Amino acid sequence: MSFPQRLIDGYNTFAAGSLQREQARYHELAELGQSPEVMVVGCCDSRVSPEVIFDARPGELFVVRNVANIIPPYSPDGQAHGVSAALEFAVGALHIQHIVVLGHAHCGGVKAFTQDSEPLSAGDFIGKWMQLMAPAAEKVGPRNGGEDQVDYLRRMEYANIANSLDNLMTFPQLARLIEKGKVTTHGAYFGVADGDLSVLDKTSGKFSPVKRN
């Protein structure tokens, strides 16, 4: 099977457009390396691209994406941990100043967790990964009697973001940097249908919409 034509077409559009406009920047990034100030931990959902949402130029965002934008707790058990390795690199090598956990509406991972459905395969990578949301589910509690599914899922999506932010504090080196004010963490939530962005107010624990210009 040949390479997807859609990707070839997209590359040609990129090469004729933004690559031409950003060529000097790409040369600079190649020679000097990357130095982004912001790391975004987002969902691998195809509808939620951090680079698109934040209109980022090349080299501006250090992005890690996984199912349901989860940051696992610190667990140096000798196994491979992709998200933890990315955090370690972002903090230790890139000296990131901001870490944003970007969740979103209609998250399939959150929905699958709440439905407690059967695993997709015998290996069940997804099922084990989804269990990392258990602390968030405990804080949210069961669905209220008069609450519809959409509102309940939104509360779970919010809580999942907050849980990932809590897990950041379990990383010793990162926790020290956060406490010293050298790294700041943020929660954000993207509405897929309306394109609205909300950010977490850590004092109130509420997500507030970003005012559009």
**Residues 52 and 10 reside in one and the same domain:** no
What is the pLDDT confidence band of residue 146, given thresholds at 50, 70 and 90?
confident
- Number of other residues whose CB lies within 10 A of the CB of residue 121: 9
Cβ neighbourhood burial of 32 (10 Å; 0-12, 13-18, 19+): exposed
- Those residues with Cβ within 8 angstroms of residue 213's Cβ, 6 or more apart along the chain or in another chain: none
Report the distance separating Cα 41 and Cα 66, nearest Å: 8
**Residues 106 and 23 reside in one and the same domain:** no
Domain count, the chain: 2
With CA atoms as reference, report the closest residue to 197 among 84, 53, 24. Answer: 53
Give the pairing of strands 184-190 and 98-104.
Answer: parallel
**Residues 147 and 45 reside in one and the same domain:** yes
Radius of gyration of the chain (CA): 19
**Residues 18 and 75 reside in one and the same domain:** no
**Residues 103 and 170 reside in one and the same domain:** yes
**Residues 13 and 114 reside in one and the same domain:** no
**Residues 29 and 45 reside in one and the same domain:** no
**Residues 115 and 135 reside in one and the same domain:** yes
Report the distance separating Cα 129 and Cα 123, nearest Å: 12
Q: What is the CATH number of the domain that holds 88?
A: 3.40.1050.10
Task: Kindly report, residue by residue over 64-93, the tens digit of the pLDDT.
Answer: 999 999 999 999 998 989 999 999 999 999
**Residues 99 and 172 reside in one and the same domain:** yes
**Residues 42 and 127 reside in one and the same domain:** yes
Contact status, residue 164 vs residue 185, Cβ threshold 8 Å: no
Residue span of the structural domain in which 170 resides: 36-209
**Residues 29 and 71 reside in one and the same domain:** no
The type of residue at 108 is G
Task: Kindly report, residue by residue over 13-52, the tens digit of the pLDDT.
Answer: 999 999 999 999 999 999 999 999 999 999 999 999 999 9
Contact status, residue 133 vs residue 114, Cβ threshold 8 Å: no
Q: Is the pTM of this model over 0.85?
A: yes
Mean per-residue pLDDT, 49-67: 97
**Residues 24 and 61 reside in one and the same domain:** no
Contact status, residue 50 vs residue 63, Cβ threshold 8 Å: yes
Q: Looking at the predicted structure, is the pLDDT value of residue 160 above 70?
A: yes
